[in-house]
């Protein structure tokens, strides 16, 4: 195992005291649990709880903290210049950072298997062991992925704040596997086919863990200045759409329901990627330079994931409009059918243009533009429509800020189209104005935008 990153973590995390003390401490704890609650129940549940505490929670924390510590101690940039391959660096950090928690977790898994084998049987025991292991791997991979995203956006030391947020996100998405498996004991239907609960949850967690590891690997490649095509991201979008659509119950309107589920999923992923990816002027300059070469390969390499997700959302919107069962039915005192999905898509277009406009002048402090965008959207979607709704003579103007279903299709699409056209004009003007400014002026404004008040 000739991986310097993994070996470094191995030497840092292990000592004779830890190697001997962990099994002794766990053995005493599990022995006391078996005395008070019985070998099958007390010892088995305690072993599972200790595995979650050590490997899932503790390992997630160590995975996120390890990367943030390297950034704060200024060693991350040196590692990026090393001769390690992206894959070696990925699995070296993903497995090496929480390696001690895995050592403790293996003892917990052994105790769980010994105490529950006779009650659950060989097949169920192996399934639960696999679920615990893969659930921890998923949480670690998500922590690694989120840490890379945060590191790519913020290089200044903010260790505790970033670590806490990353751990919470990873745990919320990783730890759900255990209560979910318990709640779905009787199984359910996926694409109208009955699926046993444990088999489905285990298969889902395995696939999601693979996607999370692959996402971290792709981000490591970007950090090491490799250029990749977006086919992996497009494949993930296809997988996510197929996976989510299967939860819609079958029936006469199942096709429309599945399309709406995919529409909501692509809408969410569009915003997630738009808020997490770089949108600074240098990113767009590289894309425009690729467009100038008229090289299809270079253009595809520089297309941001959020834009590809937005195009996928546009395709789903078109599919909804063409589907005869996709009209949104509302009970407003009389029947009403309208292409509500088109209005939502156009308002999303307006919101993304607003985000790009605010990101144009923020330099490296991109998080400020995103916070400003969210604040503006709260005003546009909440404050102003709420005020207009309280004014009977002006309540019809709410359609200027909300994609309200309306019999007149023009009233649904013209407000967001007009606002989007205005934002495009302002965006072009701001880009040209920035391009005509001297380089020193732009840098001075960037430094001022990063100066804390």
For residue 320, is it within any domain? Answer: no
**pLDDT < 70 stretches in the chain:** 1, 37-41, 76-77, 153-187, 251-253, 324-338, 361-367, 405-408, 435-453
Q: Is residue 419 part of a domain?
A: no
Q: Give this prediction's pTM.
A: 0.82
Dihedral sign for Cα atoms in the order 372, 373, 378, 383? positive
pLDDT for the residue 243: 92
Whether 253 is in a domain gets the answer no
> Within a domain: residue 31?
yes
Domain annotation covers residue 321: no
| pLDDT score recorded for residue 450 | 46
Q: How many domains does the chain have?
A: 1
**What is the structure's pLDDT at 452?**
44
Q: Is residue 395 part of a domain?
A: no
Q: What is the 3-state secondary structure (H, E, C) of the chain?
A: CCCHHHHHHHHHHCCHHHHHHHHHHHHHHHHHHHHHHHHHHHHHHHHHHHHHHHHHHHHHHHHHHHHHHHHHCCCHHHHHCCCCCHHHHHHHHHHHCCHHHHHHHHHHHHHHHHHHHHHHHHHHHHHHHHHHHHHHHHHHHHHHHHHHHHHHHCCCCCHHHHHHHHHHHHHHHHCCHHHHHHHCCCCEEECCEEECHHHHHHHHHHHHHHHHHHHHHHHHHHHCCCCCCCHHHHHHHHHHHHHHHCCCCCCCCHHHHHHHHHHHHHHHHHHHHHHHCCCCHHHHHHHHHHHHHCCHHHHHHHCCHHHHHHHHHHHHHHHHHHCCCCCCCEECCCEECCCHHHHHHHHHHHHHHHHHHHHHCCCCCHHHHHHHHHHHHHHHHHHHHHHHHCCHHHHHHHHHCCCCCCCCHHHHHHHHHHHHHHHHHHHHHHHHHHHHCCHHHHHHHHHHHHCCC
* Full domain range(s) for residue 155: 1-226
Q: Report the C-alpha gap between 148 and 10 in whole angstroms.
A: 21
Residue 444 lies inside a defined structural domain of this protein? no
Q: Let me know if residue 206 belongs to a domain.
A: yes
pLDDT at 336: 42
């Amino acid at each position: 195992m000739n991986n310097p990153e993994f070996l470094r973590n191995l030497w840092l995390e292990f000592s004779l005291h830890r190697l001997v003390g962990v099994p002794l401490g766990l053995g005493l704890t599990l022995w006391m649990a078996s005395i008070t609650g019985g070998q099958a129940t007390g010892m088995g549940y305690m072993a599972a709880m200790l595995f979650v505490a050590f490997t899932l929670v503790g390992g997630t924390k160590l995975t996120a903290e390890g990367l943030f510590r390297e950034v704060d101690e200024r060693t991350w940039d040196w590692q990026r210049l090393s001769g390690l391959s992206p894959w070696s660096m990925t699995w070296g950090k993903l497995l090496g950072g929480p390696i001690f928690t895995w050592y403790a977790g293996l003892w917990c898994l052994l105790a769980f298997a010994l105490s529950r084998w006779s009650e659950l049987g060989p097949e169920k025991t192996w399934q639960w062991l696999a679920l615990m292991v893969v659930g921890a791997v998923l949480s670690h991979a998500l922590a690694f992925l989120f840490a890379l995203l945060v590191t790519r956006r913020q290089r200044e030391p903010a260790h505790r704040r970033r670590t806490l947020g990353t751990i919470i996100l990873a745990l919320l998405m990783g730890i759900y596997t255990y209560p979910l498996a318990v709640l779905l004991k009787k199984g359910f239907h996926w694409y109208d086919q009955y699926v046993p609960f444990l088999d489905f949850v285990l298969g889902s967690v395995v696939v999601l863990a693979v996607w999370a590891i692959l996402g971290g690997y792709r981000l490591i490649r970007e950090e090491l200045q490799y250029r990749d095509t977006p086919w992996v991201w497009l494949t993930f979008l296809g997988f996510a759409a197929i996976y989510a659509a299967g939860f819609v119950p079958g029936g006469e309107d199942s096709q429309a329901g599945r399309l709406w589920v995919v529409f909501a999923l692509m809408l969410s992923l569009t915003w997630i990627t738009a808020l997490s990816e770089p949108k600074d002027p240098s990113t767009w300059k590289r894309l425009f330079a690729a467009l100038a070469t008229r090289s299809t390969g270079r253009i595809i390499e520089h297309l941001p994931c959020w834009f590809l997700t937005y195009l996928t959302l546009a395709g789903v919107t078109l599919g909804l409009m063409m589907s005869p069962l996709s009209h949104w039915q509302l009970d407003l005192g009389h029947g009403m059918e309208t292409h509500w999905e088109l209005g939502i898509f156009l308002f999303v277009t307006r919101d993304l243009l607003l985000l790009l406009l605010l990101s144009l002048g923020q330099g490296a402090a991109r998080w400020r533009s995103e916070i400003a965008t969210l604040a503006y959207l709260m005003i546009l979607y909440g404050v102003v429509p709420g005020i207009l709704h309280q004014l009977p003579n002006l309540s019809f103007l709410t359609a200027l800020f909300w994609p309200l279903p309306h019999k007149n299709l023009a009233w649904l699409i013209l407000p967001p189209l007009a606002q989007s056209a205005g934002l495009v004009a302002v965006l072009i003007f701001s880009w040209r104005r920035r391009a005509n400014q001297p380089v020193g002026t732009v840098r001075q404004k960037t430094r001022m935008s990063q100066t804390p008040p």
